[in-house]
Amino acid sequence: MKRSLTRLPFAIAVFALTHLLSGCSNLSSGSDTSAESHCSQLLYDANIAINNKQYQSAINTSNTVLASCPIKDGMMTTDAKDAYYYAGLSYYSLQQYQPAADAFAKLMAFKNANPYLQRPATMYYNISMARLNPAKAQDYINQALPISDSKSNVDVLDAIYDVGTRDKSLMNNYMALIDNPKFPLRFDRPIKLAQSLGDKKLAQTLTTRQATIEHVEAEARARNIAGPGVESSAGGDANLAGYKRGAFLSEAYRKAGEPVLAAYYEGVKKQYQGFLKSDAESAQADAALAKSNAEFEAQQRDQTQDLVNTVTGAVVSAGVASASGGNVAQAVNNSLADSAVSMSDNPEMMGAVKSGMQSFSSNQEKCTYATPSRFKQCCKNVIKGIFSSTQNSDGTTTYGCEHPDKYRTREGCTYNGDKLVINSCVING
């Protein structure tokens, strides 16, 4: 009886192992994954619409996400959080301050709203309320100012100009942003403020800068040069468009005698150049993995090894690992590898299989988020999750990876350019 079990076809053993691993994991169904990918694409579209100042389109797309994308286990999903945030920003940009405040309030109401969304949401809620309540405007502005990096947010400064105190301090805050295109000024207010403070030279400097930027942007539109407004990797064509835009603006501002702006967009060009290289490397890695999997499956079709005992050993290993709080997947991998080598008719081949299994576990443990490109590769190739990115008001970019488990566990890290912000990585369920 023992020998008849050892010669069971490989497909039957794989069927048993598949059911074992499905009991140890919480992977979403194919339909769920498809829906999540669709929702992620909608949110990307909403983000691009905001960058292109197509605010009503962003609102409509965000509302579609809120109406059609799933909310599981009674928890606020990342999709819904992003949708409320994008809708709030768009309403604010359209000067529809009541619906903007409502959207930000709904985001703030959820205890598990990610901090990188919750802090800007609180700030925008306060300045929306400042515009809605002139009698209490200064109070709301005072609540917004202590929030991290609020003074680098042009919307806060414009709100202070409109309903708060117009003084030298406000002028200094405007001037701190003049050479930082991540926070593009709307020049009408700072020009009027400089004039009211009696600084004619500064008013002229701002007027000249405004004319230069408008001329360069008009030339870019005439040449149909468009791209994401921030340097965040979106993959494929979007990265190529970002590279072209960075290259054009760098050269245009250099010719216009604006070396600071030229240097900034030269950095944007190089950032997207790195993303394009990362896309190519990721495609090569996917192709190599597919080839390796095909070769392995071809070898396995010629083997009728005893995998029943292997599965039994894996069950025991998984139970021990689970009871002790260990890594169940790694325990299963190790048990399968050891059993396969010990009972195989071809120890040399199965030794290679063991090495491959252990290498897979090692790769999981060595997944690093040191750079944006590594985060993206880890999310797509190791975690098999849904990748997203969000531009923060301080110029940093937060990258997110939503796991394919039923709790939709989310990891996130924040980067300043190509460098990881210390202690910024978080994980929540």
The pLDDT of 412-425, averaged and rounded, is 83
Rounded to an integer, what distance in angstroms lies between the CA atom of residue 318 and that of residue 315? 5
Give the pLDDT score at 98: 97
Q: Are 24 and 373 spatial neighbours (Cβ–Cβ below 8 Å)?
A: no
Rounded to an integer, what distance in angstroms lies between the CA atom of residue 273 and that of residue 281? 13
Selected residue with higher pLDDT from 355 and 146: 146
In the chain, the percentage of residues whose pLDDT exceeds 90 is 23
pLDDT(10) > 50: no
pLDDT band for 225, please (50, 70, 90 cuts).
confident
Going by their DSSP bridges, the two strands 410-416 and 419-420 should be labelled as antiparallel
Give the pLDDT score at 274: 82
Rounded to an integer, what distance in angstroms lies between the CA atom of residue 367 and that of residue 423? 17
Give the pLDDT score at 92: 94
Query: In 3-state terms, what secondary structure has residue 28?
Result: coil
Give the pLDDT score at 84: 92
Selected residue with higher pLDDT from 47 and 358: 47
Selected residue with higher pLDDT from 63 and 20: 63
Give the pLDDT score at 422: 78
Give the pLDDT score at 236: 57
Give the pLDDT score at 95: 94
Rounded to an integer, what distance in angstroms lies between the CA atom of residue 121 and that of residue 102? 11
**Range of weakest confidence among 130-134, 214-218, 417-421:** 417-421
Selected residue with higher pLDDT from 69 and 231: 69
pLDDT(3) > 90: no
The pLDDT of 259-269, averaged and rounded, is 88
Which residues lie across from 420 on neighbouring strands?
A: 415
pLDDT band for 186, please (50, 70, 90 cuts).
confident
Q: At what angle do helices 137-144 and 154-163 cross, to 10 degrees?
A: 160
Give the pLDDT score at 206: 93
Q: Are 124 and 107 spatial neighbours (Cβ–Cβ below 8 Å)?
A: no
The pLDDT of 28-37, averaged and rounded, is 54
Q: Are 233 and 239 spatial neighbours (Cβ–Cβ below 8 Å)?
A: yes
DSSP secondary structure letters along 16-72? HHHHHHHHH--BPPHHHHHHHHHHHHHHHHHHHHHHTT-HHHHHHHHHHHHHHS---
Torsion region of 198: left, alpha or beta (phi above 0 gives left; psi -120 to 50 gives alpha): left
Rounded to an integer, what distance in angstroms lies between the CA atom of residue 413 and that of residue 425? 4
Q: Which of 18-22, 262-266, 275-279, 390-394 has the highest mean pLDDT?
A: 262-266
From the CB of residue 312, how many other CB atoms can be counted at a distance below 10 Å? 14
pLDDT(308) > 60: no
Give the pLDDT score at 279: 66
Q: What is the pLDDT of residues 53-86, one digit of tens each?
A: 899 999 999 999 888 876 654 444 567 888 999 9
Average pLDDT taken over every residue of the chain:
74
Which residues lie across from 389 on neighbouring strands?
A: 399
Best CA proximity match to 380, nearest among 398, 401, 359: 401
For residue 26, what are its two tokens? 């919480």
pLDDT(91) > 90: yes
Torsion region of 427: left, alpha or beta (phi above 0 gives left; psi -120 to 50 gives alpha): beta
The pLDDT of 186-208, averaged and rounded, is 94
The pLDDT of 357-364, averaged and rounded, is 42
DSSP secondary structure letters along 352-388? HHHHHHHHHHHHHHT---SSHHHHHHIIIIII--EEE
Helix (H) or strand (E) holding 4: helix 2-6
Selected residue with higher pLDDT from 401 and 230: 401
List all residues 6 or more positions away from 200 whose beta carbon is below 8 Å from its beta carbon.
194
Selected residue with higher pLDDT from 308 and 239: 239
The pLDDT of 322-326, averaged and rounded, is 44
List all residues 6 or more positions away from 39 whose beta carbon is below 8 Å from its beta carbon.
65, 68, 69, 79
Find tokens 């389109």 and name the residue. 57
Rounded to an integer, what distance in angstroms lies between the CA atom of residue 104 and that of residue 82? 11
Rounded to an integer, what distance in angstroms lies between the CA atom of residue 46 and that of residue 42? 6
